[in-house]
Amino acid sequence: MAERVGRGPGRLLVAVYAVFALAASSRALLQLLTRFDDAPVAYLLSAVAAAVYVVAAVALARGQRRVALWACGFELVGVLVVGTVSLLLPASFPDETVWSTYGIGYGFVPLVLPVLGLLRLRATR
């Protein structure tokens, strides 16, 4: 029988997602409340990232594989798309998002995290 997603090494993954959910949520809330007019797209994208981190953390912790797969997949696509656009069209992002430049502001963890999540889901299938 396969190990549950949120057990063993999966607990660390859930913990990192929870920390990122808290960090991204706090950042997005502050930006949206205090500087929304400066960079609305960037701040809304940070809020989307925060919501995805919350969904991923909860789904991984509860073993909700389908939801976790969707969240990790969406996150990976988001990081790749926003990261690429922020490099090619920097004027489109007057301020950084969590996913800008592939998560450089967070030590590239936003780029690595969904890959680890997808690998964990595959390993515990």
Residue 63 burial class via C-beta count within 10 angstroms: exposed 0-12, middle 13-18, buried 19 and up: middle
| Distance (Å) of CA 10 to CA 68, 74, 116, 119 | 12, 19, 10, 10
Contact at 8 Å (CB) between 67 and 14? Answer: no
How many Cβ atoms sit within 10 Å of the Cβ of residue 61? 20
**Residue 98 DSSP code:** T
3-12, 16-25, 63-72: segment of lowest average pLDDT:
3-12
Residue 3 has pLDDT above 70, yes or no: no
- At residue 69, the pLDDT reads 97
Comparison of pLDDT for 125 and 53, the residue scoring more: 53
How far apart CA 84 and CA 34 sit, in angstroms, is: 27
- At residue 125, the pLDDT reads 81
